[in-house]
Amino acid sequence: MSNLLKRVRKRNSIRFFYFSFYHSLLVPLGLMIVALSLSSCSKGTAFDINTPEGREALMDQVRKHLTAGECVVAINLIEPLYDSQYSNSEVRLLRAAAHGCRAGIDFLPLLTQLVGGSLTGSDFYKTLTRIFPSEEDDQKMESAWFATDALMATLKVGTVLDDLFKVNGTTRNPGSMRYWDRSTDSNMYIIFVGMAAMGTTQNRFGEPNSSYVKTVDLPWETHDEMDETGCAYAGSLVNLLDGIDGVIDGLGTSSFANTLRTIQSDLGGAITAACTDGCDDVFDVDTLCDAATTTCSGCPLKIRNRNTCMSNTVARCAAAGVVRAVNFTWN
């Protein structure tokens, strides 16, 4: 077995998926199929999370079920370990992979659709609506949220979290709202999780037509209309852009990298301005948001997590500005 395949065998599911889409332009399909089969090997079926052997066996089974597309089984297996004292970056990435699976993320088809399509203006929102269908109670949107939680907690080695930037601080998996605190794998995957969160939310609340254009506006255009779902939606778009900022310099000039640069160029400045406009209420539509009390310069950190967003007036105003910008563009 080559050294490359030995390394692939040891990777967790996120690393395998990252290998798949990042190297799809560089390695033959046959090698990826072999790598996939190796990733599904399991050491056993007894999962005592209090022992290293039990934890490794459980994670191997999670990888196996993800390879088979058995998303809910993978979620049910990984959640107790994720909520335990033994949670670590590998566990968090597997949890993100399991929930990303249920949210509809399938990297190779997703990469093909993104690289081959138009992702500027309204086409960006239409593309995500098409790729990530969702209906009420299918849990796809919520799984995208839970994947985001896990990714925010997947930090660079040695990172010390400042309370000012911490999310989910009372759990086993505290995370950071700052993308530069997080690992490259986390930032890469949060791009696609953000897309999934947006696409599923747009399907549920925008009532898109057969051309994937909304027929009703997303309902979170003011501070008081903002709820957990609206905050999660706006935060997903901001996190997506953060993820691109975190990885783009290391991606070279591949078609995929150029696709991300297109998104970054088209949306980065626009969403920053939308947050500022929301805080300042430049359109005079929100009595609780104005330049005197809720001003912000760009998107405040707390918009990036649905809970910190909901508990912060400035973040809710910024999120409303993001939603208004999307409603204006997605036509």
DSSP letters for 116-180: TS--STHHHHHHHHHHS---TTS-HHHHHHHHHHHHHT-BPTT----GGGEESTTSSS-EES-GG
- Answer for the pair 67, 9: CB distance below 8 angstroms, yes or no: no
What pLDDT does residue 58 have? Answer: 97
Q: Which is nearest to 182 in space by CA: 164, 196, 166, 198? A: 166
Residue whose tokens read 């990252």: 18
What pLDDT does residue 320 have? Answer: 97
User: Residue 167: phi, psi to the nearest 5?
Assistant: -125, 150
For residues 270 and 313, what is the distance between their CA atoms, to the nearest angstrom? 21
Half-sphere exposure of residue 91: CA atoms within 13 angstroms, side-chain side: 20
Q: How many domains does the chain have?
A: 2
Both structure tokens of 74: 């993978």
Same domain, 42 and 164: no
Which of 42, 77, 103 is the C-terminal boundary of a domain?
A: 103
Burial class (CB in 10 A: 0-12, 13-18, 19+), 321: buried
For residues 3 and 72, what is the distance between their CA atoms, to the nearest angstrom? 33
Same domain, 50 and 161: no
Same domain, 247 and 98: no
Same domain, 95 and 127: no
What pLDDT does residue 292 have? Answer: 83
Which residues constitute the domain of residue 40? 1-103
What pLDDT does residue 280 have? Answer: 94
User: Residue 28: phi, psi to the nearest 5?
Assistant: -70, 155
Same domain, 298 and 315: yes
Helix (H) or strand (E) holding 272: helix 255-280
Same domain, 188 and 327: yes
Same domain, 64 and 21: yes
Same domain, 265 and 328: yes
What pLDDT does residue 168 have? Answer: 96
Q: Could you read off the pLDDT tens digit of each residue along the chain, which spans 331 residues?
A: 444 333 334 444 444 444 444 333 333 333 333 333 333 333 334 689 999 999 999 999 999 999 999 999 999 999 999 999 999 999 999 999 999 999 999 988 999 999 988 999 999 999 999 999 999 999 999 999 999 999 999 999 999 999 999 999 999 999 999 999 999 999 999 999 999 999 999 999 999 999 999 999 999 999 999 999 999 999 999 999 999 999 999 999 999 999 999 999 999 999 999 999 999 999 888 889 998 888 899 999 999 999 999 999 999 999 999 999 999 999 9
- Answer for the pair 291, 314: CB distance below 8 angstroms, yes or no: no
What pLDDT does residue 287 have? Answer: 85
Both structure tokens of 281: 């209420």
Which of 84, 103, 122 is the C-terminal boundary of a domain?
A: 103
- Answer for the pair 47, 54: CB distance below 8 angstroms, yes or no: yes
Same domain, 229 and 147: yes
Same domain, 222 and 98: no
Which of 70, 103, 136 is the C-terminal boundary of a domain?
A: 103
To the nearest 10°, the Cα dihedral for 74, 77, 80, 81? -80
pTM of the model: 0.87
Same domain, 257 and 323: yes
Same domain, 250 and 151: yes
Detail the DSSP E strand segments found in the chain.
166-167, 175-176
